[in-house]
Amino acid sequence: MTIPEMSTEPKHIPVIFVSSKNQKADKVWAQMQGAKDLIGKPGDAKEILAALAAL
């Protein structure tokens, strides 16, 4: 199931995955699901803030 399939509305809410998986293939998979970003654990505060600022 992709992110757009989870809900019919609102589709404008950006999604950032936080996961223990942080390989390039995992980031590509997250983007294919509709996520704006994937942050690997342990997440760095600066990385999380940068991802949020990019939204």
Q: Are 46 and 53 in contact (CB under 8 A)?
A: no
Residue pointed to by tokens 């404008």:
12
Any idea of the CA torsion for 53, 32, 40, 13, to the nearest 10 degrees?
Answer: 40
Looking up tokens 């019919």 gives 8
d(CA 7, CA 48): 25
Position 5 scores a pLDDT of 63
Give the pLDDT of residue 25: 93
pLDDT in tens, 1-11: 566 666 666 66
Q: Is the pLDDT of residue 30 over 80?
A: yes
Domain boundaries, the chain: 3-53
| Residue with the larger pLDDT of the pair 13 and 18 | 18
* Residues 20 and 40: beta-carbon distance below 8 Å: yes
List, for residues 15-25, the tens digit of each pLDDT value: 888 889 888 99
